[in-house]
Amino acid sequence: MSLPPLVEPATELTVDEVRRYSRHLIIPDVGMAGQKRLKNAKVLCVGAGGLGSPALMYLAAAGVGTLGVIDFDVVDESNLQRQIIHGQSDVGRLKAESAAASVREINPLVEVVIHNTALTTENVMEIFSGYDLIVDGTDNFATRYMVNDAAVLLGKPYVWGSIYRFDGQASVFWAEHGPCYRCLYPEPPPPGMVPSCAEGGVLGVLCASIGSIQVNEAIKLLTGIGDPLVGRLMIYDALEMKYRDVKVRKDPECVLCGKNPTVTELLEDYEAFCGAISDEAAEAATGSTITAQELKAMQDNGENIFLVDVREINEYEIVSIPGATLIPKGEFLNGSALEKLPQDKKIVLHCKSGARSAEALAIVKSAGFSDAVHVGGGVLSWVKTVDPSLPSY
């Protein structure tokens, strides 16, 4: 369905703007009026990572007058495989600052607003209120639900995208005209059920595919052209090179945008709502979490331990803690790992950051290994505090 333009047009375009955007201006559906709307638009990109990179670059090139970027992270070398708005010289730099510099280089006519902060329940409503449209490039469920809830409560549309390995999804959520994210996903998946890109990886160019779709949708919404992805979920398979649409209907029982909403304000804790780890894992890890330095001391003292790496083999091949035996988390979930654990040694589990090993720890403890522990921070902590010569990922 076509929708009215989201913003009013600016008064005029300068001579420089006419030259720059001439290829837009000669498109009848965009024209002078559409380009003036883009100039008058204020768009916020949540995240300057894989999806935020192409989104910010193409929004800038398209002539969106005000671009906001919110990100609290710094550029890491592992980002450069897909986060093309950053370069080698930006490693260690704040992502929002690096992204803003690239945007200004692409189009100095764009005003860039930098938010060097994490998006939280304390600031999301204030930040969002200054923009016409939100482009969501987040990579975790807690922030996705918070972005959705804030957008619905403020009556603002947002363009959503998601990527994992070779698969991508995109949609437009606007409760005034269609469903919201909670209509599609009423509840977050169980902890550990859906791996993050940091755990499962992502094809770098997939970010460009989905990010450019997000920008395409943003331009359509801002200028009032075409048929935006409101009420439709676009699914992309990069390996098969296939796109397909799935209709998403507004849920009349949606707790947020339904007929009788029960969520009328932001939740107090979105991390708790989404459950970074299960209650069982959190309970198992309480009092049974050691640091990477403590693991090193155990090894140096010759303690009788059995160190288990619960990551996947491709992660293990990138970097591993010396002496670790690889038993992927899936083998703990199906029970086959338990027969591989010695009864006469203290079981020490680790993963990349500590979430998966905590889940495995709960299973191990319930199987009778009461003195088992896991390494908080996992391989990342080992590389940072014990052996910085090893590669990170």
Q: Which residues belong to the active site?
A: 197, 351
Q: Structure tokens of 239?
A: 């390996």
Helix (H) or strand (E) holding 282: helix 279-285
Measured in degrees and rounded to the nearest 5, phi and psi for residue 377 equal: 90, -15
Decide: residue 260, CB within 10 A, 0-12 exposed, 13-18 middle, 19+ buried.
exposed
- Which of 284-289's residues contact partners 24+ apart within 8 Å by CB, and which partners? 284/358, 284/361, 284/362, 284/365, 285/354, 285/358, 285/361, 285/374, 285/376, 288/361, 288/365, 288/372, 288/373, 288/374, 289/354, 289/358, 289/373, 289/374, 289/375, 289/376
Query: Would you tell me how many other CB atoms lie within 10 Å of the CB of residue 309?
Result: 26
167 Cβ contact list (under 8 Å, min separation 6): 206, 235, 236, 237, 238
Residue 188, CA distances (Å) to 15, 77, 192, 273, 358 in order: 49, 30, 11, 8, 19
Counting DSSP H helices and E strands in the chain, the numbers are 17, 13
Instruction: Let me know: does 24 contact 30? Beta carbons within 8 Å.
Output: yes
Query: How far, in Å, CA of 288 to CA of 281, rounded?
Result: 11
CA 186 to chain centre: 18
Rounded CA-CA distance 162/214 in Å is 10
Task: Find the angle CA(234)-CA(276)-CA(297) to the nearest 5 degrees.
Answer: 130
User: The tokens of 340 are what?
Assistant: 């591989």
337 SS3 class: coil
